[in-house]
């Protein structure tokens, strides 16, 4: 495991937790690098309420037909 003690004072609790979870995700998948996919998965876990809200907003926007994703006029 990577020693993050030198960075502990500079990271928020959430950031520290996200990095640790990203490292665990990378190790779980037997990857020998820490990539954006591992960080993204850990951020989803750490910031679950935010991601749930965004997912609801996207789903609501897609279901409305207007006010969601931009509609393209195919006649022009």
* Average pLDDT of every residue of the chain: 83
The predicted pLDDT at position 71 comes to 55
Q: What is the pLDDT of residues 9-45, one digit of tens each?
A: 888 888 999 999 999 999 999 999 999 999 999 999 9
Report how many domains make up the chain: 1
Residue 15 within a domain: yes
The predicted pLDDT at position 72 comes to 54
Quote the domain boundaries for residue 23: 8-64
Check residues 69 and 43 and name the one with the higher pLDDT: 43
CB-CB contact of 40 with 33 (8 Å): no
Q: Which residue has the tokens 């665990």?
A: 24
CB-CB contact of 47 with 40 (8 Å): no
The predicted pLDDT at position 62 comes to 74
The predicted pLDDT at position 5 comes to 79
Residue 24 within a domain: yes
């Amino acid at each position: 495991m990577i020693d993050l003690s030198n960075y502990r004072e500079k990271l928020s609790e959430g950031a520290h937790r996200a990095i640790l979870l990203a490292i665990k995700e990378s190790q779980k998948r037997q990857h020998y690098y820490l990539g954006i996919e591992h960080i993204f998965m850990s951020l989803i876990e750490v910031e679950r309420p935010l991601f749930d809200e965004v997912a609801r907003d996207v789903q609501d926007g897609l279901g409305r037909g207007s006010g969601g994703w931009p509609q393209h006029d195919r006649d022009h």
